[in-house]
Amino acid sequence: MFSKILIANRGEIACRVIKTARRMGIGTVAVFSEADRDALHVEMADEAVFVGPAPAAQSYLVIEKIVEACRQTGAEAVHPGYGFLSERAAFAEALASAGITFIGPNPKAIEAMGDKIESKKFANAAKVSTVPGFLGVIESPEEAVRIADDIGYPVMIKASAGGGGKGMRIAYSAAEVAEGFARARSEAASSFGDDRVFVEKFITDPRHVEIQVIGDKHGNVVYLGERECSIQRRNQKVIEEAPSPLLDEATRRRMGEQAVALAKAVNYDSAGTVEFVAGQDRSFYFLEMNTRLQVEHPVTEMVTGIDLVEEMIRIAAGEKLRFSQEDIRLDGWAVESRVYAEDPTRGFLPSTGRLVTYRPPAEGEADGARVRNDTGVVEGGEISIYYDPMIAKLITHAPTRAAAIAAQQRALDAFAIDGIRHNIPFLSALMAHPRWQEGHLSTGFIAEEFPEGFAMPKPEGEVAIHLAAVAAAIDHLFNERKRRISGQLRSAKPVRFERERVVMLGREAVPLTIDDRDGALVLAFADGRTVAVASSWRPGEPVWQGRVDGKAIAVQVRPILNGVALAHAGTATEARVYTRREAELAALMPEKVAADTSKQLLCPMPGLVKAIAVAEGQEVKAGETLAIVEAMKMENVLKAERDGTVAKIHAKEGDSLAVDAVILEFS
C-alpha cells in the first residue's frame, strides 16, 4: 500500500479523497492555484504544493507541474478526482514514465472509452446498442449542419473530451446547429484543451441511467447497481439517486452485464461509469463511458456500503477486488442534491463572492435517515469565477425513496448559506414536486416543469402557517428579552397588544393571539386553529429548528429591517410582526417597485466579456445574439428579447463585469 498520495484536483472531491486516505493511514499532498491558497483541501492535506495562476489551464491542467509536485513531495501515486486531468491518457502515461502510480484505469482503457467518439466506435464493434449519430470528427459548422440534416432533428452536439455539461448543445434547427457547434468547440477547448465535437440524435423524453462498474488488475469486474441522473439543467446533473425508480431487477441485470462486458473488453481496472440513455419503456442505449470517479458516486456508496475511493486506491496498489457480483446488495435509497453558487431566479446564472454564512446540516443518523455533506468550502471562503460553481453535495439515505426524499427536504431546509446566491430554494422546490416524488422523470423535467424559469414561490397553506408561527415565536422571544431589561415597570397581567399580533408574510396579513401562560408557546389563529411552537433557537443562529404543531421543521432565518427573512420548503418571504394598529398602518404603505431596466442589457453574472456581437446604431431582431459572457467555464449567449436599436455600448471584449453591469442600451 502507498504511504503518500497526491490529489491532482481541488474543491470537494480533493477533500473527499483526503478523508478516505487519512482513514487508510495514507499521507496526502494537495496542489493549489493562486485562487486556492486558503482552500479547505489545502488545509486538510498533510502537504501542499503551489502549481500556478488561477486559470486551470495554467495550473491544475499542466501535467508537468503535477509530476514535479510528486517528485518534490515523494508522492507514490496520484488520484485525479474528476474533471481536469482525470480522463487524459497522456497524464497517466506521464506519471508512469516518472515511476508514479495513477489511481485510475490504464491509459489504453482511457483512450478506448474516455473519448466519446472512440468509445462509440468501440461499442459499435462490440455490438452494443448505441444512439444513432456521426462518430467522426467534424471540422466546420457547415459539415455539422449537413450531418444533422441527415440524422434528423433534434440533435446533440457534444465535445469528444467533454463532461459536466461543458461543450454540449441541443439543436432543433440548422441555425442552432451552426451556433451550437461554435459554442461547443470554444467551451471544449477552454475546459478540456480539446475542441473536437461530434453529433448524435437526441432521444426525446429520455432518462439518464448509469451503471457503476469497478474492476481490478486481475481481470475481475463487477457492477454496483445504477444511478438515475435525469434531473438535469443545461445537460448538467442537479439531483441524482440510487437505485433508479425506472428499473426492475431484470433490466438492472441486463444493463449491468452489458456495462461489465464493455469494461472487460478494454481490461478496465478501476472505478468507472457506463452511461445509458433510457426510454420510458426501459429500453436503453449506450451513451458513453466515464473513465473516472463520478461526481454522484456517494449515492452508490450509500446503498452498497462500499467506499469507491478506497477501492480505487487498493486496486491501483495491485490488490484484488474484495467482493464478487454475488456480494453486491442494494440497501435502501439515496438521494443527492448538488448545491451550486448560482441564482435560480435569474436563469441559474453563476454567483461569486464570499460565503458570509456557511452552515450545513448536521451529518450522521437522525429520524431513521443518514445525512452526508461532501464539500470543499468553509464559512468565510471565496467562490471564485475560475472553477465549477459547486458548493457542496448533500446526500441522504433512508430505507425507502419517500423517506430519503423527506430527509433531503429537511436537510435542505437546515442548510444555511449567505453572501452569495445559491440554488437551495430550487432544490427544495424540486423535492416537493409531485412528479419528482412519483418518479416520473426525464432529462427534460426541469424545462418542462419550469418553462418560465424558477420564481421563488410565496408560502401557502401549511407552509404559510408554519412560517407565520416561526415568525411569531421569534418576535415573541425578542420581546421577552426586551421585557427583562432592569428597572421596567410591568403590568401584573399580560398586556393586550403584546398578545394580539399580526404576522405580515410579505403583504399577506396573518392575525394571531399568543399565549405563553403555561410555559409553552401556543398560537391561536383567526380561523380557530391553535398551534404549539417549541424551539431552543437563539438570536443570531441562521437556522431555526424546532417543532410546530408537533412536526419537526427547519427554517432559514436572516435578519432584515424590522423583521426576518425566512426560507423553508422551497419558499421564501419577508416576515414582520406587528400589533393590530401597526398592521393597519403598514397596509397603507406604498409597495416598492423595481426600476425599469427594459432598455438595457445587463450582465447577468460576474464574468468576462468574450464578444460584443453588435455595434452602436445597429437594428436588432428578437433572438439575435448581442454579447457572449464567460463565467465558470461556461459561455453564456445573451440575446435580444425584442426588436430594437442599439443606442450605446458600455463594455468591450475582455472586460470583467460585475452582476447587473450595463453592457449596452437600446433607444
**Active-site residue list:** 288
User: Scanning the structure block, which residue is given the C-alpha cell 470537494?
Assistant: 12
Q: Which residues have C-beta within 8 Å of that of residue 324, sequence separation ≥ 6?
A: 220, 222
- If DSSP codes are grouped into helix, strand and coil, which group holds residue 168? strand
Q: How many CA atoms lie within 13 A of 346 on its CB side?
A: 17
Contact call for residues 501 and 523 (beta carbons, < 8 A): no
Q: Which residues have C-beta within 8 Å of that of residue 75, sequence separation ≥ 6?
A: 4, 5, 6, 29, 69, 100
Q: How far apart are the first and last CA of the chain?
A: 69
Contact call for residues 86 and 62 (beta carbons, < 8 A): no
What is the Cα–Cα distance from 76 to 636, expressed in whole angstroms? 41
- CA distances 204 to 241, 276, 289, Å, are 21, 14, 21
Determine how many CB atoms are found less than 10 A away from the CB of residue 25. Answer: 8
Strands (E), 571-632: 571-579, 600-602, 607-612, 619-620, 625-631
- CA distances 279 to 23, 390, 444, Å, are 41, 29, 13
Q: Which of 46, 63, 66, 68 is nearest to 2 (CA)?
A: 46
Determine how many CB atoms are found less than 10 A away from the CB of residue 379. Answer: 15
What is the Cα–Cα distance from 226 to 253, expressed in whole angstroms? 10
Strand pairing report for 133-134 and 166-171: unpaired
Instruction: Write out the H or E segment, with its range, that includes residue 207.
Output: strand 207-215
What is the Cα–Cα distance from 558 to 541, expressed in whole angstroms? 9
- CA distances 119 to 114, 259, 375, Å, are 7, 13, 32
What is the Cα–Cα distance from 357 to 267, expressed in whole angstroms? 47
By residue count, the chain amounts to 667
Beta bridge partners of 492: none
Strand pairing report for 221-233 and 207-215: antiparallel
What is the Cα–Cα distance from 540 to 363, expressed in whole angstroms? 22
Q: Which of 248, 359, 294, 311 is nearest to 82 (CA)?
A: 294
* CB burial of residue 40 (10 Å; 0-12, 13-18, 19+): buried
Contact call for residues 469 and 437 (beta carbons, < 8 A): no
Amino acid at site 90:
A
